[in-house]
């Protein structure tokens, strides 16, 4: 096993990250692009050894891990394209008006520059896509920020393998030596030390509310607070409108059952709440969903801690007033396994019990039965911020419920119609964020190319000689980036 990083080592590591920053921040988009591409190739080059190590450490199935590795390399390549193309810096140019009265206007230009060294915390449930070379690392490196990655203690050897790939990419593409550093630490002290080090300029985290909120508070308690983007999970409500239940309850049950239980429900986008209006269509749907969940066998969870938390949180949820166990896996769970579970509760009991709005991380969902649409509306009004919210309905009823959809949207970062929240597409239009407590800042995303914006800040160049301007801001636009030039978008 690996020892936790000690305070003196943190100081050395962050000092080296700062030194690397002074070099790395000037590396061109083209060279950063080659570096990110090289990381992807090096990860692919690790071949089946990486997959089997990850299987061993996370209990996730091979196909899922192969898919996740693909997503991770795809993310790296999307950021590579983004920085090669260059328009992400949001360049604005306002040229001088020397004859303006009463005061002449000077030449002013602006673009995004990297914040500085970023500390990233690997996530347990995504050993690749949200860990060592995951989206936090790739977006920070794309922005021009060196990364210090704290490996998740549940998959340290997988993390070491990926870190090795990044270090080889650094060497092969001639990046500054300490552009990426890999450290270990299971204690809160290690995390606190990294977040509070003076050279740390931003933090990326995906994980539990307790973990994310602690890092957020550490950052705010610094003499100079720094931004923390923590994605802290969500219950991801799914609203099922009556028309859809009447028309296709069987297929909805099928889709929802898969989304609840896929990879033991260990996704921050797992639908942990299903909400609908009482009646025989809902009774039928519940029965269909029950049948399906009973047949879905318990699955081994990521690690013993996750599994025991699942048992604890599930038991706590089932013990709440009015909550009934609807169905669970017929097969009994073995050690570290999580049984697929559906509970139900009336909207009346649900609305006034904040515990039932909390995430139960694992293959669990709670069916909330409302008497009327008004009661569903009332439940939405009490709902804390969510990464996602889903509405399943027939086209005509969706249009009738435009007001309701608007209300749901107030509380979520992504709204899905007739789908499931699991399966997050990596593309420019994706938003993986949401109002607190889903994340610490609803204005940023941790999936998609806009994730880079977390790690960059604008700098304004006033009256600069052409020779001293960065390429993105030079008058002839040598990089051909999209710019707002004298208030017109152009290349």
The residues annotated as belonging to the active site are 231, 268
278 lies in the binding site for its own copies (CB under 8 A): no
**Among 52, 324, 406, 475, contact with its own copies (rule: CB under 8 A):** 406
463 lies in the binding site for its own copies (CB under 8 A): yes
Helix axes 135-143, 62-85, angle to 10 degrees: 10
**Among 309, 453, 471, 474, contact with its own copies (rule: CB under 8 A):** 453
Question: Using an 8 Å Cβ cutoff, are 110 and 102 in contact?
Answer: no
Nearer Cβ to its own copies, position 150 or 411? 411
Which two structure tokens, joined as six digits, stand for 207? 């994980």
The single residue listed with the structure tokens 């673009």 is 111
Greatest extent of the chain over all pairs of C-alpha atoms, in Å: 82
- Residues 43-82 close enough to bind its own copies by CB under 8 A: 67
Binding footprint of its own copies, residue count (CB under 8 A)? 75
Q: How far is the CB of 356 from its own copies (least distance, A)?
A: 17
Which two structure tokens, joined as six digits, stand for 172? 């092969």
Stretch that binds its own copies, among 189-197, 237-245, 284-292, 431-439 (CB under 8 A): 431-439
Helices marked H in 297-412 — which ranges? 304-318, 347-351, 373-382, 395-400, 402-409
Nearer Cβ to its own copies, position 30 or 220? 220
Evaluated on CA atoms 222, 224, 225, 226, the torsion sign reads: negative
297 lies in the binding site for its own copies (CB under 8 A): no
413 lies in the binding site for its own copies (CB under 8 A): yes
- Residues 158-217 close enough to bind its own copies by CB under 8 A: 216-217
Nearer Cβ to its own copies, position 2 or 464? 464
- Residues 219-238 close enough to bind its own copies by CB under 8 A: 220, 224-227
- 485 phi/psi in degrees, rounded to 5: -105, 115
Which two structure tokens, joined as six digits, stand for 345? 């509760």
354: which residues sit within 8 A by CB, 6+ positions away? none
Question: Using an 8 Å Cβ cutoff, are 279 and 286 in contact?
Answer: no
Three-state DSSP at 243 gives helix
Stretch that binds its own copies, among 128-136, 158-166, 168-176, 443-451 (CB under 8 A): 443-451
**Among 169, 296, 430, 452, contact with its own copies (rule: CB under 8 A):** 430
Q: How far is the CB of 326 from its own copies (least distance, A)?
A: 28
258 lies in the binding site for its own copies (CB under 8 A): no
User: Cα separation of 407 and 401, whole Å?
Assistant: 10
CA 225 to each of CA 93, 121, 195, 200, 433: distance values in angstroms, whole numbers, following the listed order:
30, 18, 10, 10, 21
- Relative to beta strand 273-277, strand 299-300 is unpaired
DSSP one-letter code for 106: P
Stretch that binds its own copies, among 154-162, 292-300, 358-366, 422-430 (CB under 8 A): 422-430
- Residues 368-387 close enough to bind its own copies by CB under 8 A: 384-385
User: Cα separation of 477 and 491, whole Å?
Assistant: 8
User: Cα separation of 383 and 102, whole Å?
Assistant: 53
415 lies in the binding site for its own copies (CB under 8 A): yes
459 lies in the binding site for its own copies (CB under 8 A): yes
**Among 19, 94, 331, 349, contact with its own copies (rule: CB under 8 A):** 94
105 lies in the binding site for its own copies (CB under 8 A): yes
Nearer Cβ to its own copies, position 46 or 405? 405
428 lies in the binding site for its own copies (CB under 8 A): yes
103 lies in the binding site for its own copies (CB under 8 A): yes
- Residues 17-36 close enough to bind its own copies by CB under 8 A: 26
399 lies in the binding site for its own copies (CB under 8 A): yes
User: What value does the CA radius of gyration of the chain take, rounded to a whole number of Å?
Assistant: 24
């Amino acid at each position: 096993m690996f020892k936790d990083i000690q305070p003196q080592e943190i100081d050395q590591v962050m000092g080296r990250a700062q030194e690397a920053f002074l070099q790395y921040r000037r590396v061109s988009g083209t060279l950063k692009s080659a570096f990110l591409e090289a990381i992807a190739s090096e990860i692919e080059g690790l071949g089946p050894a990486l997959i089997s190590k990850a299987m061993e450490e996370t209990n996730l199935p091979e196909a899922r891990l192969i898919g996740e590795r693909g997503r991770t390399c795809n993310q790296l390549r999307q950021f590579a394209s983004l920085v090669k193309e260059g328009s992400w810096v949001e360049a604005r140019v306002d040229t001088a008006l020397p004859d303006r009265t009463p005061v002449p206007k000077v030449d002013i230009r602006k673009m995004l520059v990297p914040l500085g060294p970023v500390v990233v915390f690997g996530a347990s449930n995504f050993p690749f896509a949200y860990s060592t070379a995951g989206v936090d690392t790739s977006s920070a490196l794309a922005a021009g920020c060196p990364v210090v990655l704290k490996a998740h203690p549940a998959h340290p050897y997988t993390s070491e393998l990926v870190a090795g790939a990044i270090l080889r990419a650094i060497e092969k593409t001639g990046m500054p030596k300490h552009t990426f550093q890999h450290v270990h630490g299971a204690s809160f002290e290690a995390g606190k030390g990294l977040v509070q080090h003076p050279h740390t300029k931003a933090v990326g985290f995906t994980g539990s509310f307790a973990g994310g909120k602690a890092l957020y508070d550490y950052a705010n308690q610094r003499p100079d607070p720094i931004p923390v983007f923590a994605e802290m999970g969500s219950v991801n409500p799914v609203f099922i409108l009556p028309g859809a239940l009447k028309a296709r309850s069987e297929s909805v049950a099928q889709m929802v059952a898969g989304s609840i239980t896929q990879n033991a429900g260990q996704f921050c986008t797992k639908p942990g709440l299903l909400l609908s209006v009482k009646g025989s269509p809902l009774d039928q749907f519940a029965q269909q969903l029950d049948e399906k969940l009973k047949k879905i066998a318990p699955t081994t969870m990521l690690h013993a801690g996750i599994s025991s938390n699942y048992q604890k949180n599930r038991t706590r949820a089932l013990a709440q007033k009015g909550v009934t166990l609807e169905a669970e896996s017929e097969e009994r769970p073995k050690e570290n396994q999580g049984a697929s579970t559906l509970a139900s509760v009336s909207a009346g009991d649900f609305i006034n019990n904040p515990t039932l709005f909390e995430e139960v991380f694992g293959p669990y969902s709670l069916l909330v039965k409302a008497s009327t649409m008004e009661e569903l509306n009332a439940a939405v009004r009490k709902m804390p911020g969510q990464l996602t919210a889903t509405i399943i309905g027939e086209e005509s009823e969706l249009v009738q419920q435009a007001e309701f959809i608007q209300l749901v949207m107030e509380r979520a970062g992504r709204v899905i119609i007739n789908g499931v929240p699991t399966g997050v597409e990596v593309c420019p239009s994706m938003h993986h964020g949401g109002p607190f407590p889903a994340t610490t800042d609803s204005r940023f995303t941790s999936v998609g190319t806009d994730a880079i914006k977390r790690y960059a800040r604008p700098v304004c160049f006033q009256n600069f000689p052409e020779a001293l301007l960065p390429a993105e801001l030079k008058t002839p636009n040598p990089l051909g980036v999209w710019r707002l030039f004298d208030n017109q978008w152009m290349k």
